[in-house]
Amino acid sequence: MNSIQSIPGRFISWTLFRYIIKDTLFAFFVAFLFFFFVFFANQILLLAREILTRQVPLFQVVLLIFYVLPQVIALAAPFGCLMGTLITIGRLSSDNEILVMLASGLSFKIIFLPALAVGILISILSFFTNDVLLPLGTVQFQRLYRRILVSTPALELDANSVKRYRDTVIITGPVSGTAIENMVILDRTAEGERRVILAQTAELTDSGNEGLSLDLQGAFFVSSREIARNDYDYASSDFLRYWVPEDDIIQAIHSIGPNQMSSLDLRREILVMNQEHNRNMDNRYNRVMTNALQLEDSLRRGPGDQEWNRRDNYYNAFYREKQSSLLTRSNMRLSIYRLEYHKKFSIPFGALSLVLLSVSLGLLARKSGQTVGFIFGLFISVLYWALLLGGQTVGVSMGFSPLWSMWLPNVLAIFSGMILFIIRLKR
């Protein structure tokens, strides 16, 4: 077949632009629903294990599901954009509509414009969902979970179970409504005293800003010092309020993780962690140098000096500090925060890079463009997700650059799209 030359200066018409945009958005909507329900089913399974089996009211369950939707939407949007664009361009190519556009004097480059417009729009909406709606949904999720926990203590404190937290062990008896019978609490105070608290019944209450508390009825407690076991105190009370650290009792919800923060909050947190990390590294470096100088001095003095006999101690201290400095340098928590910061941008704007790949791949379709687009879309989505997970693993465990760990899938998608586009031009 003879090649078709584009006419210089010929630009896509508004009617044709709207036609491709409309077709791409419809295909995106269908593909988005597919990936949405895949990720949504995963969230439902996680909630079912913790909440749906605990007789939580249906309305509150629906609210909890609603608050996790931003996370599902942010994940599904880029993959929906990939498959939607791939299906649309594949259909246009297999139906020879691309050929008609080229015969009209349009170039392949102009055909990219509608798809890029959709990719930019989806990227911006996905970033807004991930950076604004997700943190808001997380805050509301925590507040609602806290209210559910107070009204349904069995959600966290199972009947006839043992719960271990940081410095506290809670042993529960039967749970009836909001009351817990025959509770035993083993903890350690800030002064180092060990306590044993027994209560006939306990009720979990929410005291607002002061936190959560257990109202104990018929309480008896014994406290003793660690270094003087024979020195102990005991008392009994008809009513005792036991304050519970919220980070301890709400085991299912810890402090907000980096993936649930906004990019600005995450960046501020990283700056603080960087400063603390640099201070720790300076302290470690000073200790290493101090021990190294002591070791050097002992070796220089020779066997006739008492410092010579301490050279092994200096060497062991130097080696320990050196190993500790290496562990301090590989700050896993800081690496996770950096990875999540770049992930905040790489996944939403991955829609744009996947559009470039999907357009180039769709232009190669001969027939059955929609079916081929769906199959290739699934394959590329799985590969893209695997590269993201692999990048996270390498970035955390091996200290690989967080920037490249999260952006490498997008770079590979753009590079592959360019290669496929060059191949299509030469056909």
Query: What is the pLDDT tens value at each position of the chain, 427 positions in all?
Result: 444 445 555 566 788 888 888 888 888 898 899 888 888 887 777 666 566 555 677 787 788 888 888 888 888 888 888 888 888 888 887 778 887 887 777 777 777 888 888 888 888 988 998 888 888 888 788 778 777 765 655 555 666 777 776 677 888 888 776 678 888 888 877 666 788 889 888 887 765 555 567 788 888 888 877 655 667 788 888 888 887 655 555 544 445 678 778 888 888 888 988 888 888 778 877 877 887 787 777 777 777 676 777 777 777 877 777 766 666 666 777 888 888 898 889 888 888 888 888 888 877 766 665 676 778 788 888 888 888 888 888 877 777 888 888 899 899 989 988 888 888 777 6
Domain count, the chain: 1
Q: What angle do CA 20, 120, 32 make, to 5 degrees?
A: 70
Q: Residue 129: inside a domain, yes or no?
A: no
Q: Of 212, 167, 204, nearest to 186 (Cα)? A: 167
Q: Is residue 265 part of a domain?
A: no
Cα distances (angstroms) measured from residue 18 to each of 120, 176, 280, 298, 387: 16, 62, 58, 81, 34
In this structure, is residue 108 part of a structural domain? no
348, 392, 406, 388: which is closest to 131 by C-alpha? 348
Query: Which of 14, 29, 13, 36 has its CA nearest to residue 87?
Result: 29
Range of the domain at 225: 162-249
- Beta pairing, strands 179-188 & 212-224: unpaired
Residue length of the chain:
427
CB 79 within 8 A of CB 378: no
Position 223 in a domain = yes
Residue 254, in any domain of the structure: no
**Is 121 a member of any domain?**
no
Q: Is 413 inside any structural domain?
A: no
* 195 falls within a domain: yes
